[in-house]
Structure 1
Amino acid sequence: MSRRVVITGVGVLAPGGTGTKAFWRLLEEGRTATRRITSFDPSPFRSQVAAEVDFDPELHGLGPQEIRRMDRAAQLAVVAAREAVADSGVEPGGLDPHRVGVTIGSAVGATTGLDREYRVVSDGGRTWLVDHEYAVPHLYNYFVPSSFAAEVAWSVGAEGPASVVSTGCTSGLDSVALACELIREGTADVMVAGATDAPISPITVACFDAIKATTPRNDDPEHASRPFDRTRNGFVLGEGAAVFVLEEYESARKRGAQLYAEIAGYASRCNAFHMTGLRPDGAEMAEAIRVAMDEARVNPEDIDYVNAHGSGTKQNDRHETAAFKHSLGEHAYRTPVSSIKSMVGHSLGAIGSIEIAASVLAMRHDVVPPTANLSTPDPECDLDYVPREAREWRTDTVLTVGSGFGGFQTAMVLAQPDRGRA
């Protein structure tokens, strides 16, 4: 019999406020953190809006050497991991370090650092033969995303399995699922798991401009992200990190740890169809949801809330709506659904973990975050998408899903560790 796995610590760095409390406050109040890009001049680009994290690494305890060595995404991961470990109450010194592991998800790795350093070594793109002597000494770390896991492991003293999961926009779900499996099979007792991405850079903006995936609604950044709304026209790029402490249920309960949620079920599928396209019937996501519910031993009627991928593109929102109907049946029409991307944007590989954080906090507070900016219902998206304002709602079991370029579809069921609470 596999061991049960629970989340005992949460750390979040997201747009609109750093730290888990600020993150939840933003969601509960239904505020948006989308704005015109400030980290570089976005005027040459089609889409000029994003959800940026107001992050000062020095104020968050990183030293000069750490700041110089690490890409922004690695910095976000390390700070989030430290918050999660502190929140969990785990004493790293009291654990066998070989039984503590790390998994970090990331879709685009050290994009910010690589973009910046290429501009430096090529003199703004003017030199074809670049001069490596102008680069930062640790440029190699930017090329190997495994450095993210290494940095987090060094930060928390973990000497067990360490890896990076990169499955596009489902990375943040898949990395936590891998950590869960390592505990279930007995390879580790504690895992520090989550995801990070800092993709707001000229090269990323240009790539999404080319395929017109991001919104051109530059005149109204605050309301630019509109999942499930009839007027939606693309997603808003974001950044951030969320990291968790995962533990085996019995040992966590024995030490008196707070139990945010149990990772009850998980499944992943690939549509083997198109790099960016989605079939409108949502069959692959529906299959992932069904398998995750089977593993969690829950029925559709047990799902209290669905934390949607909800990117705000026409095809994703149709695809996802169909998947919920196929997998949940009539219960899909009675279940609150919402997309926090309406408030914090789409941080690519990090968003799956950030949405796990939103899900466990929704369970803790019995509040469903809203889909901000949802004002004009789309007849093709006819479920209960909790428009504009948070809703008090008993939330014991949550389904959170992700969809990524390449055809990746992931579903995870999170549950109160002891269901049927008073």
Structure 2
Amino acid sequence: MTPLRLLVALSAFTAASHAMAWDYVLLDTDKAAQDFHITSAQLGVKTAKPFSVTLRTLHGGRQEGVSIVDIDNGAMKLSVVPTRGMNVLQASVGTVRMGWDSPVKEVVNPAFIELNGRGGLGWLEGFNELVTRCGYEWVGHPGMDNGELLTLHGRAANIPANKVTLHIDEKPPYAISLRGELKEQAFKKVDFSVATELVTEPGSVSFALNDTLTNNGDYPKEYQALYHSNFSTPFLEEGAKFAAPVKQVSPFNDKAKADLADWQTYRGPTRDYDETVYNVVPYADTQGDTLTVLHNKAGSLGVAVGFNTRQLPVFSLWKNTDTQGQGYVTGLEPGTSFSYNRRYQRPLGLVPTIEARQSKQFQIRYSLLADKAAVDKSLAEISQIQNGRQTEVRPTPLVDLSQE
């Protein structure tokens, strides 16, 4: 079973077993926030991997009032930030961390962020998560579109969830589901809701995101989504590699064009490197499932990101191999769209429309590949999806940004 099919099966199982689950409301606009803690022992669950879920509140500085939900499934520890779009702050298995070291050290409350600041780059003042939701009215670089300033990567990452619930299945494998609702609303402009879900199981080294975007308005509306998934050491190092079944790859801009020959290989921390981005159109299997992998130079440790191209048809590879202090990181980013400003993506057919009262689903699975056997297995799956099909290496960017 592929990672994404496992995700779908897990989601279906979770829904079917909802009536046989322990349910807790952790946060709600109708109730005062209170710390929360529950363990498998308190629930009377006898499992080889004891688990716990904790809700806590941060204080001091720009993180004042931020809520964090910590999930320890007995093998993997996850931290989710309801105050910041239900983003996944970090995940770790033992001493191996999935995440990165941003110069932004606090978990910044959106109340202290001005998205319009820095010419539309204010989003960067809170950017430090493992998984950051981008969208849903737009994604991409800041700039004008139809007379409106679109800020970097939309508002989702800075929308506090208005309700957060925890569901733990009463029967094995005791799936743990953390759900939140985001509302992206503006009079005359947009009426979106996003039902987010993070699912993991006791003892698992994987977690899945299962999000549903709904247009609650009376008119069709453009939308975009991108899942900014960010990794650093120990996966990222000189000689680390990215793998995927690739139909087409192109440089984002002229700077990326200069490194196109080595687009799948990483440098060590490099002063003044800044960043390069590559636009990827992945191949998928007959069900639309695809897989991407980042692994270290030796191929002995990696991470896998699986998704469905019928939901998220394109992929951006962000290589920010600047110094460690500047933020040595790479982004594996499945999306409906690339990272160009929305006005450039309409001609590319990457600004989809969601009808009134319609919903769209986005499902992504993240897995730690803890040894060479796990890395090799995922690479073999990628090779199977590629199935000998050719990769088109487009030498020029899809969009001419020289006049910006």
Which structure has the highest strand share of the two? Answer: 2
**Which structure has more helix as a fraction of its residues?**
1
TM-score w.r.t. length of structure 1 = 0.26
User: What is the TM-score normalised by the length of structure 2?
Assistant: 0.27
Structure possessing the higher relative contact order (Cα contacts under 8 Å, 6 or more residues apart): 1
